[in-house]
Amino acid sequence: MKKVILSIAVIAALIVVSCKSDSKKETVKTNVKMDINSTTLSFGVRGNCAMCKKTIEKAANSVDGVNSATWDVDKKKINVSFNDHKTNLLSIYKAIAASGYDTEKVIGNENAYKSLPGCCKYDQEMIMNQTSEINTENHSNHAN
């Protein structure tokens, strides 16, 4: 009889433990929901090669709130996913421009452009965002 009582007590303890872990799971779920604030957008960024890709993506990822950034060397275009409660598109444009690269809205910093490795000195007239029709806007009047 004692054994039965003991095993009931063990089962009860197990139920309590499993309930606790259930409530932990709920917290995790809530955190995942928070991440759904992320917006995914793409825009044109000029650049040449794999090294440009690294620099551009690093610049975009350095913005607090950016979850991921992938630059397409062929399309001259970046896909960014970011939390729109933490940052906005303009901050991402600015961060990339500060690293020396032209974006659709913010032109790359001249000094940073000059200090890019030779292979990365992209053509400042280059058409960016090559799959979309946004090419009607002309951003090619660079200072030099």
Binding site residues, Cu ion, CB under 5 A:
48-49, 51-52, 120
**Cβ closest to Cu ion, residue 66 vs residue 120:** 120
E strand residue ranges, the chain: 38-44, 66-72, 77-83
Contact 73, 53 (CB under 8 A): yes
Q: How far is the CB of 92 from Cu ion (least distance, A)?
A: 19
**Cβ closest to Cu ion, residue 12 vs residue 119:** 119
What gap in Å lies between CA 130 and CA 76, rounded to an integer? 6
Pairing of strands 38-44, 66-72: unpaired
**Cβ closest to Cu ion, residue 47 vs residue 139:** 47
Q: How far is the CB of 106 from Cu ion (least distance, A)?
A: 19
Q: How far is the CB of 125 from Cu ion (least distance, A)?
A: 17
**Letter for the amino acid at 67?**
N
